[in-house]
Every structure is written in C-alpha cells, then in structure tokens.
Structure 1
Amino acid sequence: MALADQSARERIRTDLDTTLVVEAAAGTGKTTELVGRMVAVLMAGRGRLDGMVAVTFTDTAAGELKLRLRTHIEQARRDDAGCTPEARRLLTDALPQLEEARIGTIHSFCADLLRERPVEAGVDPLFEVAPDDVARMLLDRAYDRWFEAVLANPGPGVRRILRRRTGEDGPRGLLRAALHALAERRDFPTPWRRAPGFDRDGAIDGLVAEMAALAEWASRGNPEDYFTQSLAELARFVDDVARAESVRPRDHDGLEADLVRFVRDWHAAWVGFRSAPNGFPKAELREKRDALKVRLDRFVADAGADLAPELRDELWPVVEAYDELKKRAGCLDFLDLLLLARNLVRGKAAVRRELQRRFTHLFVDEFQDTDP
C-alpha cells in the first residue's frame, strides 16, 4: 500500500535541480529522505560528497547522519536492480570521502570556513571554540570589572536599575541578566530600540493618581474580604508614596522601581466572597481594579522597553571588553562563529565565489532548530 505522501517522497529523490523545503511531523522520515536525496545526487552524478554540506542541530545528530549516509551508500551499491555500473562507481568513489565530509552543526561548518580563511575573516588561525561555561566566565569577568567601576558614576539606565530591589542578586543580578541577553543577541538590535511615544514620568503620575482614587475605598469595605484586602495593598502603596513626597520631590526613578515591585506582589486577582457594606460598589470597583491591573502591566512592559536602549548603550563597553578577553585567550564563542562567517561571506566577494563554486549542494536537517 502506497503512503499518502508517496509522490512527495519520490520528488525528494528525483527532482534534484530544485530547492525543496520538507515539512512533516516528527518521526515521519524527514532525515531518511534527506539521506536518500544525498545518495540520489551522488548516483546521478549531479554532485560529489566533497561538494556537499549537510547541517544538523547537534554533534550527536551529525554523527548519526554520517553513519546513516554510509549505510545508505552501501545498500545502494548492493542494489543490482536499481544501481547502474556508473552509479555504483560514483558511490564507491564517495565512500573514502565520508570521514572528511562536511556533515556537522552550523557552528562547526562556520568554524571550518573561518579556519580556512583566517586573514580575510580577521581571526587567529589557531583559535579555539570556547565552551559555554568558559564564554560565560569571560563575560562575567568583564562584567564584574565594569560594575565596580560604573558605581562611581552610573548612567541613567544603570541608575534606574540600581533602584530596583528585585531578584536574588538585586540590581547587580538584573544588570548581569541584561548583559547576557545583550551578548547573546548582539547582532540583533530590534529589542533594544526605544518604543515611540512613551512618557514614563507622565505614565507614573497618572497611575499613582488612579491608584490613590481606588485606594480610598479600602477603609470602607469589609476588612475580612479578600477584595478589600487587595485594595488595602493599594492604600499602603499610596501612603508610602505620600510620606516620601512630604519630605522630597517626586522621584520617578524610585517610583518606577516601586511600581515594578508592586505589580509583581499585588494580589490583583483576589475576588472575595464576603458581603460588602451598604454603599460599597464592589462590582464597579472590581472593574476599576482589573482595568488598573492591565494598565500597570502595560506600564511595566513599556518601562522595560524604554529602559532597554539606555542599558544597551551603557552595557556595550562590557561586550567590547568581553571580545578583548576572548581575543587574548585565542577563542571565539558560538555566536562569533556565526557572525564572523556571515561577515566573511557577505563582505568578501572572492571568498563567496569560491565557496559557491566548491559547494554545490546544501542539506539542512532539523531546519526549525538550526540557528537562523
């Protein structure tokens, strides 16, 4: 009985001049068909193994792919009915190339390109690839040096973070987490662009006023009711703000940090089922509280987007110091491999032409998991 997708499977092994993208559920045989297509290219004389690149997600998967390719080649050679003498010769010629075949992860392929062209890529010809723990250690070393120095004169973004007392490691941990996010996405600027039209100070003033109006009802409800208790939390926050502002002007950096912490801890979902005193519009107040919670959540998100570009600029020297530490250690991290290989191919026309000539076929397994 033929498979429902038999025609698609046949096309994979016969339509060798078309770039194909295969989408199917796990366990349906995508890798088997990829290997079959590689063998079909070899048998048809459309390409040699040393002109193919096969990329998969992990080193283990790459080793398994190489073993499967060897098995398929051996099986095809023994198929007297389906293998012509010329195809058998081509497969026999391919076997000695298997150990040197470009079958690996995208990172290993990029590392090979850089080692072949170190001058054009601007890398140490003897560079090592830093394991994740080593790369993290170097980044943290650069961060620790920067953090001790920046405390003497913090920029506006760092000042805003220093006011936050959240997380296990406080502001230091928040800044470290932001640095790691920046280092991991240092080629992708979009998340670090300021959201247009956000007036942080105006948003804070509006929220505090809205919180104060709702908090006035806390003393009029049933103190044993959970809903009233959630209003009491609002009232305590508003009272703290009023006390602070009785002795100094409004501190928007501090209020931003306080609002972020309040949103995290506030029991805004508490409903409460005890009866309300006469004149206490519980249903109406619940609607107002729920609307306030939405606006507070929106503020936290907008404030984060507003803060990110400042942090990016102030943390960027740490990324540069990290690059310098890697250079001294003669190593590159995994993202370096991708970025430098991309820059090499994009910026050096002669290198690009040579690679296009040498590599005639590219096969990507587990495409959804491969770094774009």
Structure 2
Amino acid sequence: MSEVVTLSDSQDRLQAETTWNRNVVVKAGAGTGKTTILVNRILNLLMREPDPLAITEIVALTFTNKAAAEMKKRLREQLLRLTKEGDDLISIFRSRYHLSAEEVGKRATMALEQIEKSQIGTLHSFAAYLLRLHPVESEIDPLFQEDDGSNFNELFDLYWDRWLDDELG
C-alpha cells in the first residue's frame, strides 16, 4: 500500500520538482500551478547533480497542443533567464546543486539549442514520433499526418455506413 504524506503546499511543490527515484502525480485544479511545477521539474532534471539529463532525454506530455505550446514557451523563458548573468533563478540551482553560474548558464544554453528536438508535446505527438521512428515495425507510412480530430467524424461516418451495409445488408 502506498504511503500518503501530508505536506505544506511549498513542500509538496519542491518534492514534485526534485524527486527522482519514483513517479510523481500532481493532482490539482485549473490555474493552480501544475505547468509551473512541471517546468521546474524539467529545469531541475537539467541542473541536478549527479547525473544531469539533456533536454532530449526528457519526455513531458500533456493532452492538448495549446498546453504543450504553453509548457514549451514557459520552459524556454526560464532557460533564457538562466543564461542571463545575475538572475535570481541562477542562485537557486547554484545553491541546490553546488554549480557555478557558468555551469548553470552552459546547461541552459545547451537545452535552448536542443529544445526543438525535445519530446515536450502531446500524447499524440509522442506516439507519432515513435511510429515514425519505427515505420517497419509499426507498419505505418512514416509520412503519415496526425489527425487533429477534424477527420474523425467524417471517417467514422464513412466506415460506420460501410459496416452497417456489410453487417445488416
């Protein structure tokens, strides 16, 4: 049975941002800071010692394109802050992971250079990435286009009608 621990909000947030040995579930209503926690968790993964990750080793998924774009935008903004000498955010990672300001800036710059290669997006975009990565195994043309949902009703109607004709004559 899992253990339930009650912590203050700031303790919960810090734990969600810096726990590495297990998965973390953040349940909260709209506008409560879930995206901020996720962005901070990614920043900590990039800065942590030992074993910092490259941004291309991180998968951060959400459900909508809008939420994914917002997450990537906020991450980019925070990484830019970490490249600017004297920003208060730098001191957090210097203190937490005993890094020099130069090392924080170097890691942030590297992440910014690689951010478009990262898997920060939707569940659908990640699935499409995997299918394109393994076209033979998936038996799917790697040039396929993701459906944004607009084709679903049209295809459903078409195949439903065909199924009804086949089954019910």
Map of 1:144 onto structure 2 = 161
Q: Please tell me the residue identity of whatever aligns with 2:126.
A: F
- Asked if residue 52 in structure 1 is aligned to residue 58 in structure 2, the reply is yes
In structure 2, the CA distance between the partners of 1:129 and 1:14, relative to structure 1 (3 Å rule), is closer
Determine if contact 1:56/1:105 at 8 Å carries over to the other structure.
yes
Map of 1:40 onto structure 2 = 44
How far residue 125 of structure 1 moved from its aligned partner, in angstroms, is: 2.2
In structure 2, the CA distance between the partners of 1:97 and 1:141, relative to structure 1 (3 Å rule), is same
**Greater relative contact order, per chain length (Cα 8 Å cut-off, separation 6+):** 1
Higher relative helix content: 1
Partner Cα distance (1:150, 1:12) in 2: 52
Query: Is the partner of 1:60 in helix, strand or coil?
Result: helix
**So what's the TM-score if we normalise by structure 2?**
0.76
Partner Cα distance (2:64, 2:133) in 1: 22
Query: Is the partner of 1:132 in helix, strand or coil?
Result: coil
- Asked if residue 22 in structure 1 is aligned to residue 26 in structure 2, the reply is yes
How far residue 77 of structure 1 moved from its aligned partner, in angstroms, is: 3.4
In structure 2, the CA distance between the partners of 1:100 and 1:22, relative to structure 1 (3 Å rule), is same
Partner Cα distance (2:138, 2:157) in 1: 26
Q: Please tell me the residue identity of whatever aligns with 1:97.
A: Q
RMSD: 2.3
Aligned length: 150
Q: Deviations over 1:107-131 (max 9, x none)?
A: 1100010011010111122222344
Question: Structure 1 runs of 4+ off > 6 angstroms?
Answer: none
Segments of 5+ residues of structure 2 without an aligned counterpart are 1-6, 95-99
1:32-181 alignment, distance < 5 Å: 32-44=36-48, 45-78=51-84, 79=87, 81-82=91-92, 83=94, 84=100, 85-152=102-169
Determine if contact 1:66/1:103 at 8 Å carries over to the other structure.
yes
**So what's the TM-score if we normalise by structure 1?**
0.37
Query: Is the partner of 1:55 in helix, strand or coil?
Result: strand
How far residue 61 of structure 1 moved from its aligned partner, in angstroms, is: 1.0
In structure 2, the CA distance between the partners of 1:141 and 1:14, relative to structure 1 (3 Å rule), is closer
Partner Cα distance (1:69, 1:87) in 2: 15
How far residue 89 of structure 1 moved from its aligned partner, in angstroms, is: 1.4
In structure 2, the CA distance between the partners of 1:89 and 1:123, relative to structure 1 (3 Å rule), is same
Q: Please tell me the residue identity of whatever aligns with 2:118.
A: A
How far residue 99 of structure 1 moved from its aligned partner, in angstroms, is: 1.9
1:1-372 alignment, distance < 5 Å: 4-44=8-48, 45-78=51-84, 79=87, 81-82=91-92, 83=94, 84=100, 85-152=102-169
Partner Cα distance (1:28, 1:131) in 2: 27
How far residue 68 of structure 1 moved from its aligned partner, in angstroms, is: 0.1
Percent identity reads 41
Partner Cα distance (2:81, 2:47) in 1: 12
